[in-house]
Structure 1
């Protein structure tokens, strides 16, 4: 399964990280059906990711991590996505958020240092931003979750939706409205007043376990206020490059579908033919379309990630490329899965067929940020700026 991605391995460090990710990809493959059926990722899988050091990769080297680059994040996430996409997407939020904090450095130095130490010692984090009232947080709605200043800190009350990897989280970055402006607070999942409501029951990406997070008058100390989103903090803003962990997973799904279809046509020969299906011209044509779609999306995605790493001075201008890379990757992944199912035929719809799960999972890419309409708006506006 490395054949398609091998050309994007640039050096020994890339190969080392791919080898690490491959070990986890193999384990994810073994538990993929169980994860989909039970709609949760077994604890031992997350524990193994902690023990191998994978969950600490974005932490600075001086703090015990590997200072993972954006390119490396994409490389790892695609490999994990080949195994079981919902677990890959889930851990990608943890990795991506740490990458974002590493790039922007928006927090007080001692707060960030403590979080890094926690992560090296096994803490899993995620953001809690989405709400029923506001919808997609990238659209800028003011959070309905409220943080109220009190003596020694704040109390936070509200409900968050789509809290991915919820059963395994140790800390969560909660976005709340505080004195009229959005702000981020670091909340321990063990805090009094924090609870999860099991609302996650979806068609695809079932193992992300993105349940509702309920905060009922949760007290946090003053130092838990991490970042406010007013004009004074504008210098800390950067386009959300870390979200490239998402399209990488969907390319992993597409690659898994391609291999599944390839294995099928290489071994299946109906009695109406003298050769296996792989020798039929229209089958070869479909594989050609899959290859063209995936190689185009991969080159685009990895090129954008490499540009982010190489040229920090250009990052503020890269939002259109970042958004377009996600759009292209997800569109290509859906096309690849669709063609793979056309190749395999009606049996691809059966529950026992791997392609049935891959189809359900790949559709979720349409609903991960940024949305297609927002991407087109950003690209359109960029033309006027030029």
Structure 2
């Protein structure tokens, strides 16, 4: 199926029509989620044999880009479900079936969320402030705080990880598993009152001894960077799908800027359209060229993941570079669109005003600007001397 078939124009317009209300009320996108589930959108990566659409990362990224043109906060939150199902798909394509149950359960309607982020943990996936305590039978009890848990009101499966500090002769071990909505030992705080991406309802989740049985523990990794396929799969899906959302946001901002430039008229120039103003035309061209540079990068990185292309040590620079380029380009394009559109875009409730707030969230997603530049510099120049 094409993205246009997965997300037909009529569905996109329904989603777009709700976005402002969700933002104004700081409300979760329940109706959007129902519509997307009914359209099979949550099963993009699920094989057709399990009732899914059987798509790859390139097609899913295109779909997320299209969804974000209508409802960026909805797209951002749905990303977390797609990251887990995408990780399962990417691993399976490489012969690793350890997360096959994720695809099977997504095919049955389960909704997955990403509970890995922690305040103050700039090691991201390579260490954890959450404590994982071994239990009899091979399970673990997790205690810690996870932030930016998108889909908080709706997830039925939450992927989490923590550190067993006593494992590996005291070096520690990172333990990955899933809890269900029915699992005890966790609380979801009602603390999502943010500048933008409000409909995502990415509340804080407090783990208070949440128990994960042995059959839900799917990885145990050493602390620190490592070459386990899970790490690549998470980075590949997280960064690529995140980039797709911000690409769609920038695409929508450019469309709005063009429309406003054509509709605005100059009193000084006898009612002439601002589309004829050289300065306005330069700004629109600048935004269009920036987006034109981004589209092929997104498509190429996603296609290479699908094709099992071996970029070796350059894979991570490519992924973090895509994320930073997408979020920074979208921010620049939104700014140009607002300059083109005039003072009306400054008023609360205008779509560009909402996009301006939403796009700022891009700088907080991993990998951040500093980390990404360090990754790319190390790949090309080698690490810093001690």
The match for 2:374 is 377
Deviation string, structure 1 residues 5-45 (Cα, Å, up to 9, x no partner): xxxxxxxx4xx223322454322201011111122333221
1:347 aligns with 2:344: yes
Structure 1: how far apart are the matches of 2:257 and 2:34?
Answer: 32
- The correspondence for 1:338, drawn from 328, 331, 335, is 335
Distance 1:107 1:185, change over 3 A: farther
Structure 2: how far apart are the matches of 1:348 and 1:238?
Answer: 41
Structure 2: how far apart are the matches of 1:377 and 1:220?
Answer: 35
The match for 2:58 is 71
- The correspondence for 2:158, drawn from 166, 169, 172, is 172
The match for 2:143 is 157
The alignment partner of 1:352 has SS state of coil
Q: Give runs of ≥4 in structure 1 deviating > 6 Å.
A: none
TM-score by length of 2: 0.89
1:29 aligns with 2:26: no
The match for 2:324 is 327
TM-score by length of 1: 0.89
CA contact (8 A) 2:20 2:349 kept: no
Range moving further from structure 2, 288-297 or 156-165: 156-165
1:261 aligns with 2:257: yes
The alignment partner of 1:313 has SS state of coil
| 1:3-18 alignment runs, 5 A limit | 13=1, 16-18=2-4
- The correspondence for 2:45, drawn from 43, 50, 58, is 58
Structure 2: how far apart are the matches of 1:295 and 1:385?
Answer: 31
The match for 2:305 is 308
* Bigger share in helix: 1
The alignment partner of 1:358 has SS state of helix
The match for 1:137 is 124
| Superposed displacement of residue 234, structure 1 | 4.2
Structure 2: how far apart are the matches of 1:133 and 1:251?
Answer: 28
Would you say how many aligned residue pairs link Structure 1 and Structure 2?
A: 370
Deviation string, structure 1 residues 279-309 (Cα, Å, up to 9, x no partner): 1111111111011111011122212222222
The match for 1:236 is 229
1:120 aligns with 2:117: no
Over the aligned positions, Cα root-mean-square deviation in angstroms equals 2.4
Structure 1: how far apart are the matches of 2:12 and 2:240?
Answer: 19
CA contact (8 A) 2:87 2:230 kept: no
| Superposed displacement of residue 236, structure 1 | 2.5
Distance 1:282 1:209, change over 3 A: same
The match for 1:4 is none
Mind listing any 5+ residue stretches in structure 2 that lack a counterpart?
none
CA contact (8 A) 2:45 2:56 kept: yes
Structure 2: how far apart are the matches of 1:332 and 1:108?
Answer: 35
Structure 2: how far apart are the matches of 1:282 and 1:230?
Answer: 55
Distance 1:136 1:209, change over 3 A: farther
Deviation string, structure 1 residues 347-377 (Cα, Å, up to 9, x no partner): 2111032111110111111111111111111
Structure 1: how far apart are the matches of 2:294 and 2:219?
Answer: 34
1:246 aligns with 2:246: no
Deviation string, structure 1 residues 79-123 (Cα, Å, up to 9, x no partner): 0111111110110121122111221249984x6343322211211
Range moving further from structure 2, 288-297 or 251-260: 251-260
| Superposed displacement of residue 263, structure 1 | 1.7
Deviation string, structure 1 residues 133-152 (Cα, Å, up to 9, x no partner): 525624x3333233332356
Structure 2: how far apart are the matches of 1:251 and 1:50?
Answer: 23
The match for 1:201 is 193
Range moving further from structure 2, 267-276 or 67-76: 267-276
The alignment partner of 1:80 has SS state of helix
CA contact (8 A) 2:88 2:103 kept: no
| 1:99-110 alignment runs, 5 A limit | 99-105=86-92, 109=97
